[in-house]
Structure 1
Amino acid sequence: MSLVKNEKFYYVERGFLSQPEISPSEYARANKELSGSLHLITQLRAKQKEIDGLKSLVVECSGDKDMINMATEEMRQAIEEERRLQHLLLKSLLPKDGADERNCILEVRAGTGGEKASLFAMDIFKMYEKYAHKNGWKFEVVDIAQSDLKGYKRVPVTEKSGRVHSSAVSVAILPQADEVDVQLKNEDLKIDTYRSSGSGGQHANTTNSAVRTS
């Protein structure tokens, strides 16, 4: 993984004194935002250095089978840890959002594909449900639409004739909105009424047949 320094990270890593055009408040804000990322970068560089050392050890001990096996196992574990640190680092660099700490509403809707799309949507829903339980999150089903499916059954990827079917689902994840009290005043309403035009029955042009509120 190559770490590309953006402008803000460069200021934080090099220090405020070497960049006099940056104000103290800007430096403090950037340092606060990236302090966790800098710690992960330090860990990642140390792990990458460890991996390089293990690679050199494998080459130097080409005649010692036991040493090679031990170094290979340690290198495998180090590479797994490197990937974990890379994932955490990329996650820490994502822009912060005020809705990150809120509850969310998940909607899974079947798209094209008929019955198979409904089954596919159920698979996706159960996947999210298991992921939530795995992370210890509270998962509550608010509403589920009933379909004509008689229970849950597996559908093969292909038909007996060998044709492949494509199904589509849509997944929407939205932060839960804060509860607010809305006071609607009569003077804020605009009500338009409409009457039918042209010839018609006895009350065609004398009664309001449509109302629009905005």
Structure 2
Amino acid sequence: MLDRLMIIKQRFDETSDLIIQPDIISDQKRYVQLNKEYKELKALNEKREEYLALTANINEANEIIADGSDAEMVEMAKMQLDEAKDRLPELEDEIKFMLIPKDPEDAKNVMVEIRAGTGGDEASIFAGDLFRMYTKYCENKGWRTSVVDVSEGTSGGFKEVIFEVSGEDVYGTLKFEAGVHRVQRVPQTETQGRVHTSAATVMVLPEAEEFDVQLDMNEVRIDYFCSSGPGGQSVNTTKSAVRLTHLPTGLVAQCQDEKSQHKNKDKATQVLRSRLYEMELAKKQEIDAATRTSQVSSGDRSAKIRTYNYSQGRITDHRIGLNLFDLDGFMNGNIHKMIDELQLVNNTEKLKETEVY
């Protein structure tokens, strides 16, 4: 571990010098990438320095205890040794987790698609609840959200809503939210107080840059139409909404959130590019799944991952068997504990793999 940390220290020193070079600063893309690497290496280097200081304290305390000539110093050394020995295993685990190779996709921004599933109007309302939950969470994280396309439900909520999230390590944080979310509660329209089960599907697509996926616009059919609001009423008389159809795959993306046809086309193109990229990523994940079994899936849109039980105030994540009992807080965006546990399980599995191989 110390050998790997020494290599990291050398790279940290390199990035510290590079990041202040004028040619790097003038290249915005390179500067952003290098600055991100610098921050990650800085955090690891700080852990390395703490580790070295801790082991030095342990050696010094052992020497004082072995000498035994000063009873007061020996007593202090024993206290120092106990504290250091308690901290050392924790610090080693922290460093091991930080040394796990990061998925290059994790730093990407995402497109989140929420679609109402089984359950009619109640499913649309639940899709709206999930949209509010995620946007609140993103707001708490300081991330930016932007609605790309929306199809409203007849009794509230959404039949479908697509929104973009941009910030730091967005995909690495939200990717485990992909799958089927199930809700058990008494709908507002239910007169006899019976509990209904409804569902909504969440997809989390890493945002694709032009160099990530080749999109030939000659293979894309472009349709323009009027944006529509609640109840299908026309909200403008110009054809500003855009629908793109990728002819080789049949994938469709549309955007009607912006007033400008050009901006809607740009957003729809980004959605289409992300969907194509997600298709390729899904193929790669299938190959990876053949060589490793992960308890926490990311991207399987057909897997039932979580149940929201309103009568019991309980949220259950079926992949890791975790139950939380703060449903009101959870639906108001306080989902960090669930996400932290999912990331911990995933990282623990990765750590086991690195130790095996």
TM band (smaller chain)? 0.3 to 0.5
Query: Which has a greater percent of strand?
Result: 2
Task: State TM-score, norm by structure 1.
Answer: 0.42
